[in-house]
Amino acid sequence: MGQETIGFDLLLAGEIAYGIIIIITCLHVIYNTPSTTKTLAYILGVIFLPVIGIGTYFMFGANYRKNKLYSKKIVTDNRMLSDIRRQITLESEKAWNSGEPEVQKHKKLARFLLNDSMSPLTGNNQVELLINGEQKFPEVIEAMKNARHHIHIEYYIFEDEVIGNQIKDVLIQKAREGVAVRFIYDDFGSRSIRKNLVPELLEAGVQAFPFYKVYFILLANRINYRNHRKIIVIDGTVGFVGGINVSDRYINNDINDQVYWRDTHVKITGPGTYYLQYLFICDWNFCSDSHLKPDRELFPEHPETNGDAIVQIAASGPDSDQPTIMFSLLQVFGLAEDEILITTPYFIPGENILDALQMAAISGVKVKILVPGKSDSKFVDYAARSYYGDLLKVGVEIYMYKKGFIHAKTIVSDGQLSIIGTANMDHRSFELNFEVNSMIYDDKTAGQLRDAFYNDLKDAVKINSKKWENRPAYKQLPEKVARLMSPLL
């Protein structure tokens, strides 16, 4: 009888303790999750999925580092910061007053990025669109070989493969020539280079550091806040940004027997590289054991170029005060009058983006979205498809790419504004990862990107709205279930 009493007391104590843990976890969710939808999703999981719900929240949902991620900043002196802000505003005013129709139409967007993150609106840029790895990597290698002062390179995925080793060899060569080479790699996305490639770089004098080091790959909460940016800045005058990581799969040729990989990058020559440089230095000061400070070598005066594109950079991460990239897209969709062309590999837009696209379509804007016919995640496929019906009902055209896998993250608005960057159209890119998009106010670039979009449609199948709506219930069920979980993806 005594043992039964003790067992009962232990069981009761365990239940009380677990109840207290549930209450504490729910309070933690309420106080630390700004989205009502996600708050409800996590609370339901915590209450109705014992242990699993609590574990899921603390692995994927709890933002441990938001207030600590950037303890180092490029500028700490308040007076200097005020002077820099004043200079950036003056330079941006010049671009606003240039009379360029692309800027005048998107003045609210440009003002938002300036006020939100001090991202300058820069003119006198030469912009080159790079389609797939076949176009990107030769340009990158040539630009690196011409480096005279520094090469800054930052990647989510850098693989120990053929193209990765070709770039490694150039970095080593330039380091031995006296060029300062600084390399940031995401410790999760680029885990294949830890053992061999990184030690080779370090031995040759390249400064290389992981971003937000992962000690245990399976520690999921550290996998959340990844550096998904792909940035290269050379001598402070040439920059590259876009969706193409350093991996052989991004190069389509007869040697690589693989799925056709469709992606887009951009090369920027001119003052549009200033903010890319700023982002790199912020990331560098966070993850390295040194502190770079702004000087004329890092932010040189730019000579006249042959380009006249106006460029601005949108960037955000889990430490941002606002979801800058998501807000910038909402502004773009709200300003569109004629046409919005979206290419994205992962389309889990959430309610805000979904509402904005529906409003644009109902207002008469032609909205076309290009997504993969099959992504690299079945569950993400289901979640994405759960949004298609809402958009198809209001006239949005959705196309599934069939030639291979489309990984580009691009938008063209009204044939005047181009967005080329690293951010997918999903919660992870908007809130959990460090991302960067280039905003190019230039009808020439927009025309080229628009042509590329319509060329991709030749290898895509348009979803029939009526057939989609009338699909059997058993096909729609997994999509509806996945949508319930989409705030957590």
CA–CA gap between residue 346 and residue 405 (Å, rounded)? 11
CA–CA gap between residue 390 and residue 9 (Å, rounded)? 53
Which structure tokens are listed for 149? 């002062």
CA-nearest of 194, 133, 191, 188 to 166 is: 133
Catalytic sites, residue numbers? 228, 230, 235, 407, 409, 414
Q: Which alpha helices (H) appear in 311-403, and where do they start and end?
A: 324-335, 350-362, 378-393
Three-state DSSP class for 197?
helix
Q: What is the DSSP string of 238-260?
A: EEEEES--BSGGG--SSS--S--
CA-nearest of 169, 153, 95, 101 to 125 is: 95
Which structure tokens are listed for 21? 């843990």
Which structure tokens are listed for 349? 């837009």
Distance (Å) of CA 300 to CA 94, 151, 297, 400: 19, 14, 5, 44
